[in-house]
Amino acid sequence: MRFPPHLLRYAPLAAMATLGAGAVAVLGRIDPNTPGNPLPACPFYMLTGILCPGCGSTRCLHALVQLDLPQALAMNPLLVVSILPMLMMALHGAGLWPRALQPMLRPVARPMLWMGLIAGFWVTRNLPWYPFHLLAPG
């Protein structure tokens, strides 16, 4: 099935909404903190013993579904901080971001910013010293 081009601009927003609804449905019923839960563990961490930037994301999202912001920040602070900018960029891509708010979008829509944040987060959350060890999940 071929979609009209004017509807394709809504695809990222629709994908985010679908994934968000699915995450709420699953994480509202399943607690990833309980032993033996059916949710998969991080394969990168299992293979290397090194935390990836996404480690703790499932537990972070579970905490957000439970409206527990301190626990979510303890599991993956980068994910919590990046939710709003990702939503802003998806709304902009769909043409739903108001022109008056365009200046707010420019600083957060830079790919090099996100590459640097993710790389820096990846390295610092694996350092064993205070305060860096606080970036590790848990």
Reported as a single tens digit per residue, the pLDDT across 12-37 is 888 889 999 999 999 999 999 999 99
What angle is formed at CA 120 by the lines to CA 102 and CA 42, rounded to 5 degrees?
100
Instruction: Collect all residues with Cβ–Cβ distance below 8 Å to 45 and sequence separation of at least 6.
Output: 51, 52, 55
Residue 118, pLDDT above cutoff 90: yes
Q: pTM here? A: 0.86
| CA atoms of 44 and 91, how far apart (whole Å) | 31
Question: Domain limits of the chain?
Answer: 5-135
Residue 7, pLDDT above cutoff 90: no
| CA atoms of 63 and 70, how far apart (whole Å) | 8
Reported as a single tens digit per residue, the pLDDT across 50-85 is 999 999 999 999 999 999 999 999 999 999 999 999
